[in-house]
Amino acid sequence: MKIRTFLQVFLLAAFMAAPIARAYSPPSDRQISQMLANPGMIRAILGDANGAQAADLMVRVLEKIAANDMTQAQKNYLASFYSARVTFLLGNQATAFAESLIPRVPESLLNAVLAGMSVGGRGSAVFMANLRELVEGDAALQAINSPHIALSEPVHHLLLESLGQSQSLPPVVTDSLPPPIPVGVADPTPGPAPTPTPTPRPQPPIPEPYAGQG
């Protein structure tokens, strides 16, 4: 009887805790800015988001990137990096992510985002086929099929290096590789103020001896 009661209590507790474990809480703007400076936060911030929720998050990330005072190459790198990373982490939710995200991407970043999703999802033939079905125009298809052209060779190389993959293999990514081009706020802990170096006071001039002195 005691064993049955214990099992009932355990199952009830597990049932009540399950929705909490699966819940996704949208991050604050501050958290997104911190993530842009610290890409290792992306897995924790993404959590158990589904494809549509991840797309909402990515739209906010892209808006911050687009509004930042950087060159277009820097923006393309960051947009492709986070698009690739989120696509990879979502697994079978990647297609839903792409369906929800693509219509809302800022036009100036669309090809970079498509290139990033192509790199992040290249390990799934099903996702790649679905991704091609979602776009229109030669430029968009080129971004998917040839991300190195859409991004430029230097940016594409930087992306692959940051994701820890070779061009011919599915991405092997880690949370420990920050983007070489930082953006956002790192939220550093302020240290003690530096001690100012005192300016030496000038010595008074020594008068020349006069005639008849000592």
Amino acid at 187: D
- Establish if 1 belongs to a structural domain: no
Task: Return the higher-pLDDT residue of 206 and 78.
Answer: 78
Give the pLDDT band (50/70/90) at residue 149.
very high
> Per the confidence metrics, is the pTM higher than 0.85?
no
Which residues does 33 contact at the CB level (< 8 Å), separation at least 6?
64, 184, 185
Residues found in the chain: 214
pLDDT at site 166: 35
Q: What is the reported pLDDT for 201? A: 61
| Token pair belonging to 77 | 């790198």
| Structural domain boundaries, residue 146 | 26-163
At 140 the pLDDT is 95
Residue 169 located in a structural domain: no
Which pLDDT belongs to residue 11? 45
Domain assignment present for residue 124? The answer is yes
Q: Is residue 93 part of a domain?
A: yes
Residue 127 falls inside a structural domain: yes
The confidence score (pLDDT) of residue 203 equals 60
Stretch 132-158: mean pLDDT: 93
- Per-residue b or e along 70-96, where b marks 16 or more CB atoms closer than 10 Å to that residue's CB: eeeebbbbbbbbbbbbbbbbbeebbbb
- The tally of domains found in the chain comes to 1
User: Residue 212 region, left (φ>0) first, then alpha (ψ -120 to 50), else beta?
Assistant: left
| pLDDT per position as a tens digit, 11-60 | 444 444 444 434 788 999 989 988 888 887 888 899 899 999 999 999 99
Q: Is residue 125 part of a domain?
A: yes
At 167-189, the pLDDT tens digits run: 333 434 333 334 444 444 545 44
What is the reported pLDDT for 188?
47
Whether 88 maps to a domain, the answer reads: yes
What average pLDDT does the chain have? 77
Domain assignment of residue 122, yes or no: yes
